[in-house]
Amino acid sequence: MEFNWHSDVITRSTGVSQHYKNTQNVRRFMLEHCGATFKFDRPFMAWIRNSTPKTMGDVVDEWKQRQER
């Protein structure tokens, strides 16, 4: 069964599939794990969808690393 990015529970171990979508559910997850300053930008969204296997935990970690640069 395909993961529903709109309503399924997202955890750090949730895999990012080719059907990934930037939904309000994803934004809530990212805000919870990254803080109130979280926002999507085009380079970050492109990284998420770059076909390299990753989890939502990897996505959180990457966003945090980008903030340190």
Report the pLDDT value the prediction gives residue 47, as an integer from 0 to 100.
97
Query: In total, how many domains does the chain have?
Result: 1
Give the closest residue to 5 by CA, choosing from 37, 38, 39, 28.
28
1-55 pLDDT, tens digit per residue, is 799 999 999 999 999 998 999 999 999 999 999 999 999 999 999 999 999 999 9
Q: Say what the pTM is.
A: 0.94
Report the pLDDT value the prediction gives residue 35, as an integer from 0 to 100.
97
Evaluate whether 59 touches 30 at the Cβ level (below 8 Å).
yes
For residue 36, the enclosing domain spans 1-69
Report the pLDDT value the prediction gives residue 38, as an integer from 0 to 100.
97
